Structure 1
Amino acid sequence: MKKLLLLLAAIVLVIIALSTLGPLIGLAFALALVFLGMHYYIKSRSVAGKMLWILIGLIGLVMAVSNVPALLGLAAIVLLYVLYQKWKGEEVSFSGKEQDDPFTNFENEWSKLQSKERF
């Protein structure tokens, strides 16, 4: 029963992600414009160039705000990833830490170093 519910949720999330594919592409393009505007604003030396890149960045920002439905698609993709991990039986962790204890991590790394042969 649990697998069936996970499968149904995955199907719904795939439909949501595919239906918001257009806004996702628009959001990616808008964020690229914002990034380019910021990048070239910093590199620009002239006042006219800086104003041009500010204008391009603002256009990208307005485009990004207008693609709010893309956030629903991003959430659907993240939830689809979480469901995939649950389907495989793995624990889902969004933190980069394996454990909080630094001594345990040191012992793991030390044992890896000791297991390697040195030439």
Structure 2
Amino acid sequence: MKKFLYFIGGAIAFIIALSLLGPMIGLLFSGLLVAAGLHYYTKSTSVFGKIMSGTVALIGFLTAASNIPAFIGLIAIVALYYIAKNWKKESNIVEATVSDDPFTNFEKEWAKLSK
């Protein structure tokens, strides 16, 4: 039942992330504008260069802040990561039971008798 719920949650998160791929690309572009603006702001020596690169960084920040669907898509990607991580963790659990009862370990006992 737990795997079924993980599957349903993962499918929903995947569909949300896929449908919001366009806004996430826009958010990436906005982040690149912010990074470029801040980079050139620190490298600039003139006042005009600092004003222009600060303006570019401000425009990038405002477009990134107004891009709410992209943040929802990022949350869906994080949810997909945690679902995949828990899915693998649950599938790796193996209970090792050692029993001396010959009826539960029939193959092992048969191999001993066949030798």
Q: TM-score, normalised by structure 2?
A: 0.75
The alignment status of 1:7 with 2:12, answered yes or no, reads: no
Identity %: 51
Structure 2 unaligned blocks of 5 or more:
91-115
2:79 maps to what in 1? 79
Shift of 1:61: 0.8
Structure 1 position 69, deviation (Å): 1.2
Distance in 1 between the 2:16 and 2:81 partners?
14
CA RMSD of aligned residues (A): 1.0
Deviations 1:44-96 (A, max 9, x none): 01111111101101110111011111111111111101000111116xxxxxx
What residue in structure 2 maps to residue 94 of structure 1? none
- Aligned counterparts of 1:34 and 1:28: Cα–Cα separation in 2: 10
Amino acid corresponding to residue 20 of structure 1 in structure 2: L
Q: Structure 1: which 4+ aligned runs deviate by more than 2 Å?
A: none
Aligned length, in residue pairs: 90
**Structure 1 unaligned residues grouped into runs of 5+:** 91-119
